[in-house]
Amino acid sequence: MTTVAIVSDTHVPSRAGAVPEWVREAVASADRVIHAGDFDSRDAYEAVRDMAGGDLVAVRGNMDPLALDLPETASLTVESVEFVVTHGDGHTGSYRDRVLQTVRREADDPDSTVGVSGHTHELHDEVVDGIRLLNPGSATGAAPAASASMLVAEVAGGELSVAVREG
């Protein structure tokens, strides 16, 4: 079994002082880590990268400094499950459509791909047009989130299960 910690929208230091300890522990104990953008600073990026033991798949969010030189999309394959990661920035009214388009464009096989995005700070785990979309919310509870949240995915034998963690 492989454990994947999925976080996004840490916004340190503009909206939060630090990543909560329970998130740090979950990230440090995971086999792989995905961050769907909006670290907010180089220090926040480096902190998450260090928590992940350097095993971090990350994308640039609309609040990330360009100097971080992160891609707009990235992929991670665990067994036969492919995660396509994007921040999903832009107007919230067209958010799901943008994320779906990105997943379809970037996926090797959209039927066995999970889209991971951030931006809205709203926790989601839903299937849209046959594609599972995950949004971990904000790992620090940055506004407009009601609380800090993240997702922990487990892949075993090609099967994916996802659990919500909130603080």
* Mean pLDDT of the residues in the chain: 95
pLDDT at 112: 82
Check whether 163 has a pLDDT greater than 80.
yes
**Is 154 in a helix, a strand, or coil?**
strand
Structural domain boundaries enclosing 121: 2-166
Domain tally, the chain: 1
Whole-prediction pTM: 0.96
Check whether 92 has a pLDDT greater than 80.
no
Look up the CATH number of the domain holding residue 111. Answer: 3.60.21.10
107 to each of 5, 38, 82, how far by Cα in Å?
A: 20, 22, 7
pLDDT at 90: 83
Check whether 54 has a pLDDT greater than 90.
no
Check whether 89 has a pLDDT greater than 90.
no
Closest CA to 74 of 64, 62, 65, 87: 87
Q: What are phi and psi of 138, to 5 degrees?
A: -110, 125
pLDDT at 99: 95
Q: Band of the pLDDT at 29, cuts 50, 70, 90?
A: very high
Task: Please report, rounded to a whole number, the percentage of residues in the chain having pLDDT higher than 90.
Answer: 87
pLDDT at 93: 79
Task: Please report, rounded to a whole number, the percentage of residues in the chain having pLDDT higher than 70.
Answer: 100
pLDDT at 144: 93
Rounded Cα distance between 72 and 27, Å, is 22
